[in-house]
Structure 1
Amino acid sequence: MVKDKAIGIIGGMGPHAGLELVRHIFDQTVATTDQDHLPVVMFSYPDRIPDRSIFLFGKSQENPAFAIAEQIRMAESVGVVVAGIPCNTAHAPAIFNVIQEELARCGSRVRVLHLIEEAVRFVREQYPDVKRVGVLSTLAVYRLGLYRSALEAAGYEVVVPDENVQETIVNRTIFDPVYGLKAQSHPVSKIARQSLLTAIAHLRQKGVEAVVLGCTELPLAIPEPELDGLPMIDPALALARALIRETYPEQLKPL
């Protein structure tokens, strides 16, 4: 049977995060032959998408939404009907809402799934007893409270690192030019992984029952689904499953 609904991935934010989302789609699909797998289109033009955090902190007037919307339209031209953006910061309202407005203005029919909303849905469905959720993220997501607002709206108690842990450990783990995940995505540096383990231990001491890895590069360093019984929530996994659910639900693997 010809599959006429393609899944779109707007990558490049960072590049390995887009690749990881595609891998999740393959891994979460019921398939026994090449032909069983789903059509996936990834656009990864990182040089064309301005830095999301710089825009959100007011250090640039160039909204990345327009470049992202343009790439979604490019994906639509080759059959994409549902798309995902493996970048949490791109889901800040100042960016995501403009993407939606721009697509509507152009008459696009692509549905763009919301990474953060899908991550919250994943927690609710897979861990129904969890009430107290920790969040690790970039400084932009931290200060804008993107996960906090979504999780609290769903009834969760949200725990984030102390400000000094967020700035000196978590954010540096992502952006440090020597050992950070942006600089070393594959393989991840030992210091980046150890730094995240320290941050997770910090949240564990605060009594969290699960930790959302709220930057799409963080699961590159912490790929385990749980650490000593503490669930690690990978938003990219949640998004991958949602993309399958919205296109070929009969081929979504059970967890």
Structure 2
Amino acid sequence: MQNKTIGLLGGIGWASTLEYYRLINEMLVARIGPAHSARILLVSMDQADFVAHASQPDSHAIEQFLVGEGQRLRDMGADFFLLCANGAHRFAPAVVPRIGLPFISIVEETAKRVQQSGIRKVGLLGVKQTMAGRFYHDALEQRGIATVTPDAADQDILHDLIYTELVQNIFTDASRKIFLAIIEKLRRQGVQGVILGCTEIPLLIQQGDVDLPLFNTTAIHCEAAVAFAIED
């Protein structure tokens, strides 16, 4: 049975938050039976609010914003929470301790999964803050895994596609081809697998599109949430 109520801090963007709800329910039913559905509390942030706070010169505004939204989840009765966006995890170290709930990190769960696979050189896709930041690189490096990201021009392309299309639930063959071409460049640099480090990317790119192992961060995060929710 489900022993803990799952808290989701989502909405950035809404398309992948919808996928969280679907996957968690499917995974929970697979674990405990078809008579069940998941106990989930959701605080869905307005993406425009998130971006406005995150664009401030220092991180105080976005940290305060995320703490407030997370505390709403706590006050609603969530037993633990997930931040349903890879890029927003760059603020987690400053935010999570102030919310007062157990936290399931998409970064840590993905890094563990890559380590378990035996891969030692992995590609990383996502928004620019994820690819250029250190939070994924450091988590992987601690496990002996090297991280390779696209070059600056390709990072700009991916970032723009994520914000102008994927977070708005727009998925096209043309964009899929661009993502696949960039993955192929990473393969030629020797990566053994690729982290889809934005929760919208798995809505566009699936394992059947690529010969390399893909790490679907959304699914990995949901699996960890379900496992924690049904623990005694």
Q: Which TM-score applies when normalising by structure 1? A: 0.81
Equivalent residue runs for 1:169-184 within 5 Å: 169-176=157-164, 180-183=165-168
Q: Distance in 2 between matches of 1:158 and 1:226?
A: 23
Whether contact under 8 Å (2:114, 2:215) holds in the other structure is: yes
User: What is residue 33 of structure 2 aligned with on the other side?
Assistant: 32
Q: CA deviation at 1:228?
A: 4.0
Say if 1:111 and 1:61 are closer, same or farther in 2 by CA, change over 3 A: closer
Q: Residues 116-136 of structure 1: CA distance to partner in whole angstroms, max 9, x if unpaired?
A: 1111112223x1x21110001
Q: CA deviation at 1:83?
A: 0.5
User: What is residue 119 of structure 1 aligned with on the other side?
Assistant: 110
Q: CA deviation at 1:162?
A: 1.6
User: What is residue 75 of structure 2 aligned with on the other side?
Assistant: 77
The letter of the residue matching 1:196 is F
Say yes or no: does 1:158 pair with 2:147: yes
Q: Distance in 2 between matches of 1:47 and 1:135?
A: 23
Q: Distance in 1 between matches of 2:48 and 2:73?
A: 15
The letter of the residue matching 1:84 is L
Aligned length: 230
Q: Distance in 2 between matches of 1:49 and 1:62?
A: 14
The more displaced of 45-54 and 228-237 is 45-54
Q: Whose relative contact order is higher, 1 or 2, with alpha carbons under 8 Å and at least 6 apart?
A: 2
User: Any idea what SS the aligned residue of 2:81 has?
Assistant: strand
User: What is residue 96 of structure 2 aligned with on the other side?
Assistant: 100
User: What is residue 224 of structure 2 aligned with on the other side?
Assistant: 242
Q: Residues 151-177 of structure 1: CA distance to partner in whole angstroms, max 9, x if unpaired?
A: 11110121111222212x31222123x
The letter of the residue matching 1:51 is V
Say yes or no: does 1:147 pair with 2:119: no
User: Any idea what SS the aligned residue of 1:84 has?
Assistant: strand
Q: Distance in 2 between matches of 1:172 and 1:53?
A: 19
Q: Which TM-score applies when normalising by structure 2? A: 0.88
Select the residue among 108, 123, 128 that pairs with 1:134. 123
Q: Distance in 2 between matches of 1:5 and 1:100?
A: 18
Equivalent residue runs for 1:194-233 within 5 Å: 194-222=177-205, 224-225=206-207, 227-233=209-215
User: Any idea what SS the aligned residue of 2:180 has?
Assistant: helix
**Percent of aligned positions that are identical:** 23
Q: CA deviation at 1:62?
A: 5.5
The letter of the residue matching 1:170 is L
User: What is residue 51 of structure 2 aligned with on the other side?
Assistant: 51
User: What is residue 42 of structure 2 aligned with on the other side?
Assistant: 42
Select the residue among 152, 155, 174 that pairs with 1:191. 174
The letter of the residue matching 2:227 is R
User: Any idea what SS the aligned residue of 2:171 has?
Assistant: coil
Whether contact under 8 Å (1:151, 1:157) holds in the other structure is: yes
The letter of the residue matching 1:161 is P
Whether contact under 8 Å (1:82, 1:112) holds in the other structure is: yes
Relative to its length, the structure with more helix (as a share) is: 2
Q: Distance in 2 between matches of 1:181 and 1:31?
A: 32
What's the Cα RMSD here? Answer: 2.3
Runs of 4+ with >4 A deviation: 58-62
Q: Distance in 1 between matches of 2:3 and 2:46?
A: 27
Question: Which stretches in structure 1 are left out of the alignment for 5+ residues?
Answer: 251-255
Whether contact under 8 Å (2:53, 2:61) holds in the other structure is: no
Q: Distance in 2 between matches of 1:175 and 1:207?
A: 28
Whether contact under 8 Å (1:13, 1:87) holds in the other structure is: yes
